[in-house]
Amino acid sequence: MSRVGQPARFLVVGIGGYVVNLGVFAVLHTLGTPYVPASILSYAVANALMYLGNRYFTFRLGHEGFWSAYARYMLVGAVVVGLNAAILAALVEGTGINAVLGQAISLLLITPVAFVLFKRWTFRIRPA
């Protein structure tokens, strides 16, 4: 696989997940859900959808090992959502920015870390 192909496909899947995450977050936050629980719930929804996209589109893997990889994906997702919530809280509490904007910024900041963790541990793809 090309060095550019996987990160580009990861970004395509990530953009879709980003839109879903922000949409769910905005709805939950508008309905009165505090921003940290809204962040966690919106990430969980987007995370499940992104697993499918990354498995079949980004890394082009088959069905073998689907559930064991999904368990690893959920564990990495828990680390990523924890980082996201911490960054979001720091942005909102530390700078006073709007929670939706904070969520948007936080998601962008954790993307490189998420790519490496998902690729190397969840899908166990090593550099050639």
pLDDT value, residue 128: 56
Count of domains observed in the chain: 1
Assigned domain for 118 exists? yes
Range of the domain at 39: 5-122
Q: Where are the alpha helices (DSSP H) in 59-98?
A: 66-95
pLDDT value, residue 25: 95
Q: How many CB atoms lie within 10 A of CB 17?
A: 24
Angle between helix 99-117 and helix 35-53 axes, rounded to 10 deg: 40
Assigned domain for 89 exists? yes
With 0.85 as the threshold, say if the pTM is over it. Answer: no
Assigned domain for 28 exists? yes
> Is pLDDT of 15 > 50?
yes
The confidence band for 3, taking pLDDT boundaries of 50, 70 and 90, is low
Assigned domain for 72 exists? yes
Assigned domain for 128 exists? no
Assigned domain for 47 exists? yes
Assigned domain for 26 exists? yes
Query: 90 versus 128: which is more confidently predicted?
Result: 90
Instruction: Answer for the pair 39, 25: CB distance below 8 angstroms, yes or no.
Output: yes
**Long-range Cβ pairs for the range 108-112 (8 Å, 24+):** 110/80, 110/83, 110/84, 111/11, 111/14
Assigned domain for 74 exists? yes
Q: What is the pLDDT of residues 55-97, one digit of tens each?
A: 899 888 888 888 988 898 889 889 988 999 999 999 999 999 9
